[in-house]
Structure 1
Amino acid sequence: MKAVLLTVLGALCVLTEGGEVHPQKDFDLQRFAGKWYRVGIAHNADSFKQYRDSFKINVGVLVPMETGSVSLTMWQLKSSGCHSMSFLYEKTDKPGRFKYFSTSSNALKDITIVDTNYDEYALVLKHNPRGGQGSTQVAMYGRKQKLSAELMEKFKAFSLAQGVPEDSIVIPLVTEDCPEGGI
């Protein structure tokens, strides 16, 4: 376990040089496209804690556009059924970094694909710079609903390094595919 933690901490130093989080080196949007499950979520907003027990694994499909931007559709299973949300992530001048306008928070957010191996996991940072220091959300995505303990530890360590309190790091429960039958 100690060796795993040292490996994770070493990787985090590479990801956050000089306090700035950089996108995945040589990010390849075409390889990143496809189906992803959100298997971990962390947020530094105090209001997040009240919802922590209600999170379920979401599934999304990311489709690259000719412009270099991304269309993302996310599905979430709620008590009233399966609900979808669509987002447009606009490309920036840095591959692996996007911007989108959040109607729920009425703010422009930065999205950085921090680390991915494309066929297993992706560590993603969302930052809302509005107000004071803004808010930070970290998400771990997987091509499957369950990732290894080492990858989940990497997610937790990175979240803590971004100032997310430990009690605001959530590993949602595995759920049925939504929409039914998969995507």
Structure 2
Amino acid sequence: MALRLLWLSLTLLGALQTQAQDSAPNLIPAPPLARVPLQRNFRADQFQGKWYVVGLAGNAVSQTEDGQFTMYTTNYELKEDGSYNVTSTLLRRNENCDYFVRTFVRTSRPGQFRLGNIRGRTKELPQELKENFSRFAKSLGLADDNIVYPVPIDTCIDDE
């Protein structure tokens, strides 16, 4: 029984992930890293700290309706292995702060990094994904009572 539930959960999550990937907008391909010039004599220890994002360009970036994009900060914390913990702090329209945490991992070229935890992990499930998950589960014949969204906790599951 437990194995069937695990299989069903993995199947449902895989289907949701596929659906989310299929609905992603067509992005302009990123240029090869070899085309991005490196900073000569890059000093990882001097790069760390808080930076203000004063300009931004990317294949997933677009101007807002009113043309205003508020400034945000990104803090680079150098780790012993030469990678960075990177935290960006943004102010949302509802006046709440959002925090995005990523890891930048060193590559073989000094001063060049790749995104480590590309997907990242969170305990929060957006309402839209909950609705999609519920609809899909119901399409398989499951009832509302068969669909559970655990309450996020910190105790035990975040202890390492």
The structure with the largest alpha-carbon Rg is 2
TM-score bucket (shorter structure) = 0.3 to 0.5
Instruction: Give the TM-score, by structure 1 length.
Output: 0.41
RCO higher in structure (CA 8 A, sep ≥6): 1
TM-score (norm 2): 0.47
Between Structure 1 and Structure 2, which shows a larger proportion of strand residues? 1
